[in-house]
A and B are shown apart, each in its own frame.
Chain A
């Protein structure tokens, strides 16, 4: 719990809120909002389009030091970040409580920052959300009639939302302790891509292809989780949302 408390402190202070004004995100990435953190502990993959990022500690490095796109604008090996944390008196005891030691600067390491953030993120769980009460407890009044009609549409063949947003977390394969995913983690192409031929979709938002460079991965993205449980907004890449405007949705 000490790690969680430290993670909360780091998130809710200005320690990581840095140079957005100096490093505004590229316009092409403005749409690409981060997946929800709710139930992220069960996520078998953590980003929209990188199958290899499967641990929260590893993922936390992406917004800090990533350059594609630049998010927080920090630079490896994190000297500026650590200097900020070490300059804040209350962090010493928090790091010492979580990771031992006397609370000196030696305990304030990037590795410990990512571990603390991950510990906090793993506690963001939508337990006993209305949808959970409806599905697991058969709480017949937990969902409104309109929500239940929506669920039926969600799980119906014409819309086929559930084909990507499957499982209890509505995000496909899940990972739990000792169990990583139900088979391969799936990344989905909603049918917009390569319409004009292989590799025709314009860079830079090309999905898993950015990592694998396999033509078949152009435009494939992870289905991330539910707003139905927590009320949080779930945003899909704008290219997926464009499907609605075009009115064409091929599934296979």
Chain B
């Protein structure tokens, strides 16, 4: 029985062997995007430094706010009134999900420097992290720095 469980567990883990190498930006936006990881290299880049296990780690990538702007989410001057009651759900390919308020991700609103990272100390993310992850450098805990990022969905609570 135990052996059967273990085998089933690995089969389940291996059920999606072709984990996506793209990032979907969708939900309540005007221009849904499907971004290849390589496309992020052509966008404005931001570097943040965080402390992990006693070491300073440098992540580089693109501000989430920049991606949301390209997808037509209400950011910048459009982030006012009812639009402030919006959030972004970030989903990983292993099923993990976290949320940010839209204002947290808009560099015109806050200075959180939350990025979609594709490099760690100048190299590609580790397999278990990537190819893309969110890094929220000012969060006190790492739970929202979601690894294996697959989707960003904008949800507007009021229109």
Contact = CB atoms under 8 A, between A and B. Distances in A.
A155 B128 contact: yes
Contacts of B155: none
Interface string A139-169: 0000000001101111111110000000110
B126 interface: yes
Given A158-B94, A159-B9, A168-B53, A152 B127 contact: yes
B123 A245 contact: no
A157 B128 contact: no
A154 B53 contact: no
B127 A159 contact: no
A151 B54 CA distance: 21
B13 A151 contact: no
Contacts of B53: 167-168
Given A153-B13, A244-B5, A158 B95 contact: yes
A138 interface: yes
A135 interface: yes
Contacts of B6: 244
Contact of B128 (A154, A176, A241, A244): A154
Contacts of A167: 53
B158 interface: no
Nearest to B10: A153
B54 to A, nearest CB: 8
B157 interface: no
Interface string B108-124: 00000000000001010
Interface of A: 135, 138, 148-149, 151-159, 167-168, 176, 241, 244-245, 247
B124 to A, nearest CB: 9
A158 B95 CA distance: 8
B100 interface: no
Contacts of A168: 53-54
Interface residues of B, number: 22
B64 to A, nearest CB: 20
Contact of A156 (B1, B13, B54, B121): B13
Contacts of A152: 127-128
Given A148-B128, A153-B10, 20 more contacts: A148-B127, A149-B127, A152-B127, A156-B13, A156-B128, A156-B148, A157-B95, A157-B96, A158-B12, A158-B94, A158-B95, A159-B9, A168-B54, A241-B2, A244-B2, A244-B5, A244-B9, A245-B2, A247-B1, A247-B5
24 contacts: A135-B126, A138-B123, A149-B127, A151-B127, A151-B128, A152-B127, A152-B128, A153-B10, A153-B13, A156-B13, A156-B148, A158-B12, A159-B9, A159-B13, A167-B53, A168-B53, A168-B54, A241-B2, A244-B2, A244-B6, A244-B9, A245-B1, A247-B1, A247-B5
Contacts of B10: 153
5 tightest Cβ-Cβ pairs between the two chains A and B:
A156-B94, A155-B128, A157-B96, A245-B2, A157-B94
A155 B9 CA distance: 14
A135 B127 CA distance: 11
B25 interface: no
A152 B147 CA distance: 10
